[in-house]
Amino acid sequence: MNQSTAGKDSAFSQLLGMRIHKAENGESEVHMSMQDKLLNLHGKMHGGAVFSLIDTALGQASHSLFDGKAGSVTLECKVNYIRGVSEGDIVCRAKVIHPGRKTHVIEAEVYQGDKLVAKAQATFACL
């Protein structure tokens, strides 16, 4: 990877309607709005869509530490889903809590307004 991907939308994040609001200093904030194409069979935002938002925010936080010289990829991620989302916008905020040479450990939380939707922790491999 020759340039930093922090702050850049991927085709996948654009497909899901994500909007990157911040990606700097090991922190990120990514927003996503409910769309019919993101619904599960129960009329809630699909867990995979929420996870994709989380993974994007985690990656943005990690990539923001590389100054265009390298990048990282997800090694593992654990998510606790707290509540379902039926409408409106959600936001994921992620923060690198361990910026190691070989790995980054990152935490993320997804909110709808002031309500916690999901919480995650992940490890990214530094390339």
pTM: 0.93
Name which CATH class applies to 11-126: alpha beta
> Of 12-26, 47-61, 66-80, 84-98, which gets the smallest average pLDDT?
66-80
Phi then psi for residue 75, to 5 deg, are -95, -45
Closest CA to 94 of 104, 83, 84, 82: 104
- For the segment 50-75, what is each residue's pLDDT rounded down to a tens digit? 999 999 999 999 999 997 777 899 99
| Domain spans, the chain | 11-126
**Mean pLDDT, range 71-94, rounded to an integer:** 97
Distant-in-sequence, close-in-space partners of 19: CB < 8 Å, separation ≥ 6: 30, 31, 32
Give the count of beta carbons closer than 10 Å to the beta carbon of residue 30: 29
**Mean pLDDT, range 83-105, rounded to an integer:** 97
Confidence band, pLDDT 50/70/90 cuts, at residue 4: low
